[in-house]
Chains A and B, each alone.
Chain A
């Protein structure tokens, strides 16, 4: 058998998705469908102040007038927005005073996902906010963080305890009218994480949110807001998994980051939502709007993402570079297999002078998947002395996968530099044979080459995360769950 065929066999995941289990837990769900009353009901359930209800209602009105975008290189069955449950929460006490009160089944779920939350077992150097379907169920290390003035909690709590910050910043980076899915999220978002780093504080540990979709018929619409005050810095990690269902689940999140003078935010994602089976049945539809605003001088926002899951990925973590000498970065690895489709990239909008951005994107397509990079680099009229460097590399495994690169470049500023490099390669039979003839197993050979291809991006991830990401990629390709 020729190796090309072997490649196809290997990339077909042999082992089921490790995170595909469902937690059997009593949940409170509202009726299917979306209308103004549902939006009001969600807001009421969360006991929200008026400004937020108005925010939601305005967003809903806008959403009703908008059309689902169709420009991305993806195809899918039309989503029936009236067939989705917009609020689903495990039944438990409204707000828990301690982790001991969290339903053991939920703790067990996160244990199984490798995110222990209990005092005895919790990860030692990372604070975690665990989100289960529509609600945040626990956040670790809150007191320790509070000592430094760092606020890390669910966005629902932030609405209650820090309404001034929410009112000031929510929707300022991604306005409700930004796009169809952002408008939908703004109308129905149920929970998510909130981070506030005060002036001059370097966050003493990494912060992390873990998003778990459990219900098959409810969408997940979380919203994350991170504010880094002057001269502060934080590294934030995000992980996502979901059970295997043969229906598609909609995930439409919004993430907003704000960095003031000399502040820096590093946002890393490992996205491993259920991708559907090898025939393309089931899987998460992942439509996400992530954007950071470098508001302050010399501020910096760095996105790194490892996208391996979801039936459809549609996301473009972006940076608005307003502050003079602010810096935006985007490091991405997107791997698609079987019938997965990914249309992902970034937007670097240079507004202030002497701003700098770097884009490194690595797309790997295997099976019958489609993997597209779509990116915009824009130099505004005032962005004198600004620079961008983009590098977009694609790797094809097998002969049925496809890769596209769509770079958009707009410059209104002659005194700026934009540099774009792109490449496409295929894992060749000769390369595989060479490694194999040195005793290296076929699957390991592929994973070595894939890791090598992604090195520039993995180097940007926090260390444990990088090791995880590397493992995840091999797993996705090998199908041999460790």
Chain B
């Protein structure tokens, strides 16, 4: 697909990936390369394997890779623990962020940020310095400081949870962010806030994969590539126009595609 020569090396290379959970094959040969500065969108019906792909890249233990490989910054990552991947700069924005009762959001964000900073050989931040940093990042997602004293995601509304995800992305400054249906459950205003946050965090060095069902997020963040997934495979790849066409014609339109390999 991405045949034209790139000036830099890809951040993420997924090559002919097959994966299963409980012996049930979910991914059946997925390939995707993300270069610095690129935004990719992955679309497809529920159950097509989009979320699985994102979890496997982040290292979720419930999935087994049966064939193929994933490289991050040129290195194979299949033997790395999820925390090692995160420290190295892989970020997964959860479709359903998890509630962690009793653990304060501030402390969680601080420990997480410091784990990444340690990897980057940056000084770890104490509570006071971290509060300064986090205040600045809260602006990006228009979150109130009161969020910090609450337990992680506990009692957060859907929109608040998603903004908390983007806040984490802002703090961790990942090299690649995979955002799994970050737009779902957001009203128009919240969607704009989240989208503008993502745009501000990303730059020419970072790669982004947006997993979404809807065009409306892609109106805010224009992707370089759109991939359509069905039954564990990428069945079509195109530019941002592909998403518009998909929006118009529906997924039924893609049912007729044959895998293009």
Residues on A close to B: CB < 8 A? Answer: 1-3, 6, 425, 428-431, 433-442, 444-445, 448-449, 451-455
CA distance A451 to B111 in the complex (A): 14
Q: Which residue of B lies closest to A2 (CB)?
A: B61
| Interface 0/1 of B81-100, CB less than 8 Å to A | 11101110001101001101
Q: A438-B172, A448-B103, A452-B151 known; A430 and B98 CB under 8 Å?
A: yes
Answer yes or no: B214 CB below 8 A from chain A CBs: no
Q: Which of B112-120, B235-243, B252-260 contacts A (4 or more CB under 8 A)?
A: B112-120
Query: By the criterion CB–CB under 8 Å, are B100 and A435 in contact?
Result: yes
Closest to B112 in A: A438
Inter-chain contact B102/A453, CB cutoff 8 Å: yes
Whether B81 pairs with A442 at a CB distance below 8 angstroms is yes
**With A428-B98, A434-B100, A449-B102 already in contact, 6 other A-B pairs whose C-beta atoms are closer than 8 Å:** A434-B97, A439-B112, A440-B108, A440-B115, A452-B104, A455-B102
CA distance A441 to B101 in the complex (A): 18
Complex interface: chain B residues within 8 A of A449 (CB): 100, 102-103
Name the residue of chain B whose CB is nearest to the CB of A3: B61
Decide yes or no whether B52 CB sits under 8 A from chain A: no
| A433 x B103 contact (CB < 8 A) | no
Q: List 14 A-B contacts (CB under 8 A).
A: A3-B61, A425-B101, A433-B58, A434-B97, A437-B92, A437-B94, A439-B115, A440-B83, A440-B108, A441-B115, A448-B107, A451-B103, A452-B100, A455-B102
Closest to B93 in A: A437
Can you list the 4 inter-chain pairs with the closest CB atoms, starting with the nearest? A452-B102, A439-B115, A439-B86, A452-B103
Residue of B nearest to A423 (CB): B101
Residues of B within 8 A of A429 (CB): 61-62
Bound Cα distance A434, B95 (Å) = 11
Within 8 A of A (CB), among B50-81: 58-62, 81
Q: Give the nearest-CB partner of A455 in chain B.
A: B102
Q: Which residues of B contact A1 (CB under 8 A)?
A: 61
Cα separation A454 to B101 with both chains bound (whole Å): 11
Closest to B99 in A: A431
Name B132-146 residues within 8 Å CB distance of A.
none
In the complex the two chains form, what is the Cα distance from A473 to B69 in whole Å? 39
Cβ contact of B60, chosen from A433, A454, A455, cutoff 8 A:
A433
Known A433-B60, A437-B92; contact A442-B83, beta-carbon cutoff 8 A: yes
What is the number of contacts between chain A and chain B, taking CB atoms within 8 Å?
84
Q: In the assembly, what is the distance between CA of A394 and CA of B29, in Å? A: 44
Known interface pairs A436-B83, A437-B92, A449-B102; A2-B111 also in contact (CB < 8 Å) = no
* Residues in A whose Cβ lies below 8 Å from that of B62: 2, 429
B103–A439 touching, CB < 8 Å: no
Is B233 an interface residue when CB atoms closer than 8 A count as contact? no
Complex interface: chain B residues within 8 A of A434 (CB): 94, 97-98, 100
Contact of A448 with B151 at beta-carbon distance under 8 Å, contacts A437-B59, A439-B119 already known: no
How far is A429 from B60 in the complex, measured between Cα atoms in Å?
9
Return A277 CB to nearest CB of chain B, in Å: 28
- Would you call B168 an interface residue if the criterion is a C-beta within 8 Å of the partner chain's C-beta atoms? yes
Query: In the assembly, what is the distance between CA of A430 and CA of B85, in Å?
Result: 17
> Known contacts being A2-B61, A437-B92, A452-B151, is A431 close to B98, with CB within 8 Å?
yes
**Chain B neighbourhood of A455, CB < 8 A:** 102
A438: contacting residue among B104, B119, B168, CB under 8 A: B168
* Residue of B whose beta carbon sits closest to that of A362: B102
Contact B59 A438 (CB under 8 A): no
Q: What residues on B are CB-neighbors of A439 within 8 Å?
A: 83, 86-87, 112, 115-116, 119, 172
Are B82 and A448 in contact, CB atoms less than 8 angstroms apart? no
Residue of B nearest to A445 (CB): B83
- Cα A1 to Cα B81 in complex, Å, equals 11
- Do B83 and A451 touch across chains, with their CB atoms under 8 A apart? no
Q: Which residues of A contact B94 (CB under 8 A)?
A: 434, 437
State whether A436 touches B102 (Cβ < 8 A). no
Partner of B86, one of A6, A436, A451: A436
C-alpha spacing A370/B149, complex, angstroms: 34
Residues of A within 8 Å of B101, CB to CB, are 425, 452-453
Give chain A nearest CB distance to B89 CB in angstroms. Answer: 10
CA distance A441 to B116 in the complex (A): 11
